[in-house]
Structure 1
């Protein structure tokens, strides 16, 4: 019985926190673009630029290593030398990722002129605020 009460308290507190986040996000739209671009905390590798950030986020991501450790052995055959097989898989992976990232870079660059406007940013902040507040209300009132 006490764990059910504790779960209810945690659920209500989580809902209140989400509502607070939603209201804060909504209010940031009213303060303007400069308030949303303010950086309060920076990761140690921010100075490395986009490539360095991507590299370190992938290197420090344990899911990436687990994917390679579980998937790569399925594509290797023990009757042939392992090193050339791994090199071929690595080259194929680099080509696929390069094409994928170049595609998304082109899409984002084309959409930037529409997205990088104060009106769009205000609208997205308000929409995000409404969504987070509604999720907070739902979490706090769920049975």
Structure 2
């Protein structure tokens, strides 16, 4: 249908790629642990919206600009890296009021809208996501496909749907684990700093990435 082939392999590969840890997963986990599963789900929905934008851009050929223009790639790359560095630094340097270690442990509370936008920007400002769709999805579209953009969008939507299943599972499971395990305030503070350090590493990796 639509020239799509090896759909089970595409779905399995997409799930494995979504499960691989990255900035999106860390954002969901940190928000779910600090504000509950609804916060993690709000961030996940923003990530899903960003993925759909990448899919639409790639299907329309806009993402090809990132693959061919060094300037366009660099601009998006450095904006995305700066955003990841900002998130990491905010978490790493978080200080609570007075001696409340528990307050130090968690990112500043955010509204559902803010969480959605944070997830959206974390995903959208990563040019590697756009290039990933250009490299990965066409492998499952036949050269004789009657409508390649439509086939691309269908596969992208399937990838995003499966990714959302994983992201919401991650949000719920992280929130439950955080509630049941109840780590000490000191441990929670160090975990939060460790996640912040990981965001910094992702930002540096993106900034130093070659095209």
TM-score normalised according to structure 2 size? 0.37
Equivalent in the alignment of 2:159 = 93
**Residues 1:114 and 2:180 aligned together:** yes
Equivalent in the alignment of 1:83 = 149
Matches of 1:95 and 1:75 in 2, distance apart? 17
Q: Which has the larger radius of gyration?
A: 1
CA separation of 1:36/1:102 partners in 2, compared to 1, >3 Å: closer, same or farther? closer
TM-score normalised according to structure 1 size? 0.51
Matches of 2:107 and 2:163 in 1, distance apart? 32
Is this contact kept in 1: 2:105–2:188, CA < 8 A? no
* Gapped regions of structure 1 (runs ≥ 5): 1-23, 40-45, 133-143
- Size of the aligned set, in residue pairs, is 97
Equivalent in the alignment of 1:59 = 124
Equivalent in the alignment of 1:14 = none
Matches of 2:154 and 2:190 in 1, distance apart? 48
Matches of 1:97 and 1:38 in 2, distance apart? 24
CA separation of 1:124/1:99 partners in 2, compared to 1, >3 Å: closer, same or farther? same
Cα deviation per residue 1:23-60 (whole Å; 9 max; x = unaligned)? x99xx9xx422344586xxxxxx894221111111110
- How far residue 123 of structure 1 moved from its aligned partner, in angstroms, is 2.7
Relative contact order (C-alpha < 8 Å, sep 6+): which is higher? Answer: 1
Matches of residues 1-143 of structure 1 in structure 2 within 5 Å? Answer: 31=99, 32-37=101-106, 48-80=113-145, 81-114=147-180, 119=184, 121-125=185-189
